[in-house]
Amino acid sequence: MNKLTIIKIGGNVIDDPKSLDQFLTDFAQRTEPAILVHGGGKIATQIGNKLGIEAKMVDGRRITDAETLDLVTMVYGGLTNKKIVAQLQSKGFNAIGLTGADGNVMLAKKRPVKKIDYGFVGDITADGVNTSLLQSMLNQGVNPVFGALTHDGEGHMLNTNADTIASVLAVAMSREFEVELVYCFEQPGVLSDFENKVVIPVLEPKNYQEYKDSGVINSGMIPKLDNAFDALNAGVKSVRIIQFSDLNQAEAGTLIRL
Ligand SMILES: Nc1ncnc2c1ncn2[C@@H]1O[C@H](COP(=O)(O)OP(=O)(O)O)[C@@H](O)[C@H]1O
Ligand SMILES: CC(=O)N[C@@H](CCC(=O)OP(=O)(O)O)C(=O)O
């Protein structure tokens, strides 16, 4: 089976031009096929503030009303995505910027309203991924770069968490490839001591639960790790959580294991 790496880059890295450039330089040096997924939540919040659109988050998910959907479509599908693709081209790496609507690559369902109405937020499963189109792009040597957007097939874009998109893409592509999923962010890995930056080298469900119960693992790291374990349970070969500057270091960060 051919190898494929799916790499997600977090908002704190893409918000910092120097860090982003360093990451993209390392990414462009890779020779095996790869798909890049980017967030940009922080940039959407900043631009929203300038436009008078206030960010409302619940459990790390953005409540996406109609004007917020326009904002994130502009930021994730436009500004951030196109800047990343242009930078990759300048480094000799052929990339194509996509949202889930382009080529119907990621068809999602609007999250049903229960206790909370998240608005135009999409839930996606591996069945909604057009793997054959992605495969043919990769066969042509063109590497997809995804913003955090899907669509509902009825004319609406949907805002979808970038960690989840990376996990679902990894699961879907595992039917055809041996997939490694890599979450890159600004810390050196999942930490057991945040102050002193002590990295947990291997995280399994049992110690994940213990670290969660004691509060050592909290906030945005919880949905990220839930996505990581979901991916492994659904057939993804390997998942790592690493610092963005360690992309090409084999042993860096935290290995997630079942
Ligand atoms: N134990 C932990 N180790 C590392 N980061 C943690 C931990 N617990 C909570 N975090 C927080 O989780 C954040 C990552 O989640 P999030 O901001 O959603 O990621 P991203 O930047 O990739 O979108 C880190 O920036 C950090 O502040
Ligand atoms: C539904 C939802 O919450 N979507 C996210 C998508 C962006 C994202 O995931 O960005 P980071 O990876 O940088 O956090 C949001 O709008 O913040």
**Residue 9 sits in a domain of what CATH number?**
3.40.1160.10
CB proximity list for 97: less than 8 A, separation 6 or greater: 81, 82, 84, 85, 145, 147
Mean pLDDT of 56-61: 87
Per-residue pLDDT of 157-192, as tens digits, reads: 999 999 999 999 999 999 999 999 999 999 999 999
Please state, as a whole number, how many other Cβ atoms lie within 10 Å of the Cβ of residue 248: 10
Separation between Cα atoms, residue 141 and residue 64, nearest integer Å: 35
Per-residue pLDDT of 116-162, as tens digits, reads: 999 999 999 999 999 999 999 999 999 999 999 999 999 999 999 99
- The parent domain of residue 114 ranges over 3-256
| 185 C-beta closer than 6 A to ligand 1 | yes
Separation between Cα atoms, residue 246 and residue 182, nearest integer Å: 11
ipTM for the predicted complex comes to 0.98
Q: What pLDDT, on a 0 to 100 scale, did the predictor assign at position 68?
A: 98
- Domain count of the chain? 1
The answer, yes or no, to whether residue 61 has pLDDT greater than 90, is no
| 199 C-beta closer than 6 A to ligand 1 | no
Separation between Cα atoms, residue 39 and residue 81, nearest integer Å: 9
In the reported structure, the alpha carbon of residue 173 is separated from the centroid of ligand 1 by a whole-number distance in angstroms of: 26
- Mean pLDDT value across the chain: 97
The answer, yes or no, to whether residue 59 has pLDDT greater than 90, is no
Mean pLDDT of 96-121: 97
Q: Looking at ligand 1, which atom is closest to the CA of residue 191?
A: 3
Q: What pLDDT, on a 0 to 100 scale, did the predictor assign at position 114?
A: 95
Q: What pLDDT, on a 0 to 100 scale, did the predictor assign at position 1?
A: 87
